[in-house]
């Protein structure tokens, strides 16, 4: 078990002390935002809360929420809390669910973000002797710049590969003996598949760990990637609105991601009523940035659905852990009245021995929803007879029905016929939206 931390004092701080630290920072931050962000001041005034009403973390619930629509409304600089001249960087969301929003950073904000990523790299076993291959996209997307900065802070040799050009990724991984791989889990799976096709065995690479995030992935997917690359695969979570990746990261226990609570206060709310839920209940994750200067969002609704636990972790870190988000509340499909998360389908596919190459299509015919799941066959499965394949489709359809409660139509398709992802995978096509 690794006992290593990037910032031991903070990462292992007793929880009462951590709460005091959060409270002090929160009081200061609420005042800062009230004084410098007219949009949020108006929201506070409307809800009848003044900065003096917030004396600590226990008063957080009094503050109004911010959601993505507020950020779209105030685009580009309506949330700016310092003079623009004090900012040194802009990043932007991937735009997975609509118009992109932008975030702005002072040097202080960049430093704290990069420290969060450094904590994640060290938790995955990274040191100055490691070679960190970053194949998240660089540019406006936060993945590349975040892990790049974290890797520098750790003192590792950083390979700023960005995403794509898998041939070159593999060449550099082998020639430069990369030890830690950072990318989306879907791209990690693709790299694993590509290595195998080139005749490499998992033990042929020097990788020991991977830091994968930016999209939902299942435990089954983790096992698959760990096996194909011969590594330990760690989850990392974040969003542009709070900085980028590194808001939370997995430790050696691989059992929930520690949230960097010295910078972010996490709450779980009921997405319908906005009511704060007790620890252990599943709901929407809400973050308050208590340290950021330029873009300090208070009570930002992430739309990600998960569970928090402050139970002691064997790694020694005291910061609260979040479960893997099941997906965003707006990723959830309602099909024939049943709530379906794409991750549930992924779990079944991988359990049944299929590779994580699939596409989910939802449509509506004669007022009834249809669910089609396209799953790629491995080359050795493809040689089976037509009746054999039909039987496999039927079996998979039954397993998915057992998980979801509704029957999908399963289509087993030829190897390589489903597009691979180099960044965030797009796995769901909901055609009902086009008809509405």
| Nearest to Zn ion of 44, 233 (CB atom) | 233
Q: Tell me if 213 contacts ligand ADP by CB under 6 A.
A: yes
Cα 282-287-102 angle, rounded to 5 deg = 125
| Binding range to Zn ion, per CB under 5 A, among 104-112, 151-159, 251-259, 354-362 | 251-259
Q: How far is the CB of 346 from ligand ADP (least distance, A)?
A: 12
Figure out which of the listed residues 22, 23, 29, 93 binds ligand ADP, where binding follows CB under 6 A.
Answer: 93
| Binding range to ligand ADP, per CB under 6 A, among 122-130, 233-241, 368-376, 384-392 | 233-241
Q: How far is the CB of 74 from Zn ion (least distance, A)?
A: 36
3-state secondary structure string across the chain: CCCCCCCHHHHCCCHHHHHHHHHHHHHHHHHHHHHHCHHHHHHHHHCCCCHHHCCCHHHHHHCCCECHHHHHHCCCCCCCCCCHHHCCEEEECCCCCCCCCEEEECHHHHHHHHHHHHHHHHHCCCCCCCEEEECCCCCCCCHHHHHHHHHHHHCCEEEECCCCCHHHHHHHHHHCCCCEEEECHHHHHHHHHHHHHCCCCHHHCCCCEEEEECCCCCHHHHHHHHHHHCCEEEEEEECHHHCCEEEEEECCCCCCEEECCCCEEEEEECCCCCCECCCCCCEEEEEEECCCCCCCCCCEEEEEEECEECCCCCCCCCCCEECCCCCECCCCEEECCEEECHHHHHHHHHHCCCCCCEEEEEEEECCEEEEEEEEECCHHHHCCCHHHHHHHHHHHHHHHHHHHCCCCEEEEECCCCCCCCCCCCCCEEECHHHHC
Q: Tell me if 320 contacts Zn ion by CB under 5 A.
A: no
Q: Tell me if 303 contacts Zn ion by CB under 5 A.
A: no
Residues 165, 138, 92, 77, Cα dihedral to 10°:
-150
Q: How far is the CB of 304 from ligand ADP (least distance, A)?
A: 5
Query: Distance between CA 148 and CA 380 in Å, rounded?
Result: 39
Figure out which of the listed residues 302, 347, 357, 397 binds ligand ADP, where binding follows CB under 6 A.
Answer: 302
Q: Tell me if 235 contacts ligand ADP by CB under 6 A.
A: yes
**Binding partner of 326, given Zn ion, ligand ADP, none, CB within 5-8 angstroms per partner class:** none
Q: Tell me if 215 contacts ligand ADP by CB under 6 A.
A: yes
Q: How far is the CB of 311 from Zn ion (least distance, A)?
A: 10
Q: Are strands 358-365 and 368-376 parallel, antiparallel or unpaired?
A: antiparallel
Number of residues interacting with Zn ion: please give it, by CB under 5 A. 5
Figure out which of the listed residues 63, 214, 313, 326 binds Zn ion, where binding follows CB under 5 A.
Answer: 313
**Binding partner of 93, given ligand ADP, Zn ion, none, CB within 5-8 angstroms per partner class:** ligand ADP
Q: How far is the CB of 320 from Zn ion (least distance, A)?
A: 11
Query: Distance between CA 312 and CA 320 in Å, rounded?
Result: 9
**Binding partner of 89, given Zn ion, ligand ADP, none, CB within 5-8 angstroms per partner class:** none
Figure out which of the listed residues 237, 287, 295, 300 binds ligand ADP, where binding follows CB under 6 A.
Answer: 237
Q: Tell me if 97 contacts ligand ADP by CB under 6 A.
A: yes
Figure out which of the listed residues 122, 134, 214, 410 binds ligand ADP, where binding follows CB under 6 A.
Answer: 214
**Binding partner of 66, given ligand ADP, Zn ion, none, CB within 5-8 angstroms per partner class:** none
Q: How far is the CB of 326 from ligand ADP (least distance, A)?
A: 8
Q: Are 144 and 162 in contact (CB under 8 A)?
A: yes
| Nearest to ligand ADP of 89, 328 (CB atom) | 328
| Binding range to Zn ion, per CB under 5 A, among 3-11, 127-135, 248-256, 261-269 | 248-256
Q: Tell me if 242 contacts ligand ADP by CB under 6 A.
A: no
Figure out which of the listed residues 94, 254, 310, 370 binds ligand ADP, where binding follows CB under 6 A.
Answer: 94
Query: Distance between CA 326 and CA 320 in Å, rounded?
Result: 18
Figure out which of the listed residues 51, 137, 146, 216 binds ligand ADP, where binding follows CB under 6 A.
Answer: 216
Q: Tell me if 236 contacts Zn ion by CB under 5 A.
A: no
Q: Tell me if 284 contacts ligand ADP by CB under 6 A.
A: no
Contacting positions for Zn ion (CB under 5 A): 251, 253, 313, 315, 317
Contacting positions for ligand ADP (CB under 6 A): 93-97, 213-216, 235-240, 302, 304, 324-325, 328
């Amino acid at each position: 078990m690794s006992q290593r931390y990037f910032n031991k004092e903070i990462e292992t701080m007793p929880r009462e002390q951590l709460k005091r630290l959060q409270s002090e920072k929160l009081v200061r931050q609420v005042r800062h935002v009230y004084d410098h962000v007219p949009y949020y001041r108006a929201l506070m005034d409307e809800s009848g809360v003044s900065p003096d009403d917030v004396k600590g973390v226990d008063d957080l619930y009094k503050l109004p929420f911010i959601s993505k629509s507020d950020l779209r409304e105030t685009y580009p600089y309506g949330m700016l809390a310092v003079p623009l001249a004090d900012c040194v960087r802009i990043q932007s969301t991937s735009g997975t669910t609509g118009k992109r929003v932008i975030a702005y950073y002072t040097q202080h904000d960049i430093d704290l973000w990069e420290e969060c990523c450094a904590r994640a790299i060290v938790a995955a076993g990274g040191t100055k002797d490691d070679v960190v291959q970053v194949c998240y996209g660089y540019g406006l997307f936060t993945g590349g710049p975040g892990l790049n900065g974290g890797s520098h802070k750790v003192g590792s040799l950083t390979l700023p590969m960005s995403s794509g050009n898998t041939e070159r990724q593999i060449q550099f991984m082998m020639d430069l003996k990369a030890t830690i791989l950072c990318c989306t889990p879907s791209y990690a799976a693709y790299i694993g598949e590509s290595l195998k096709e080139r005749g490499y065995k998992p033990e042929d690479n020097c990788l020991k760990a991977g830091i994968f995030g930016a999209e939902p992935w299942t435990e089954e997917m983790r096992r698959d990637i760990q096996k194909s690359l011969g590594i330990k695969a760690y989850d990392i979570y974040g969003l542009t609105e709070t900085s980028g990746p590194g808001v939370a990261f997995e430790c050696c226990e691989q059992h929930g991601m520690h949230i960097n609570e010295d910078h972010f206060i996490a709450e779980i709310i009921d997405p319908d009523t906005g009511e704060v839920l007790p620890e252990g209940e599943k709901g929407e994750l809400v973050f308050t940035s208590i340290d950021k200067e330029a873009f300090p969002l208070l009570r930002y609704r992430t739309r990600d659905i998960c569970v928090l636990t402050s139970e002691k972790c064997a790694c020694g870190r005291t910061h609260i852990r979040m479960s893997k988000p099941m997906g965003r509340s707006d990723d959830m499909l309602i099909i024939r009245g049943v709530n379906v998360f794409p991750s549930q389908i992924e779990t079944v596919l991988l359990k049944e021995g299929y590779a994580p190459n699939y596409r989910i299509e939802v449509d509506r015919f004669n007022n009834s929803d249809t669910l089609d799941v396209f799953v790629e066959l491995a080359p050795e499965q493809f040689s089976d007879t037509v009746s054999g394949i039909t039987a496999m489709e039927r079996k998979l359809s039954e397993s998915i029905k057992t998980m979801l409660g509704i029957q999908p139509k399963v289509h087993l398709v030829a190897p390589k016929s489903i597009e691979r992802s180099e960044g965030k995978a797009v796995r769901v096509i909901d055609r009902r939206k086009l008809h509405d």
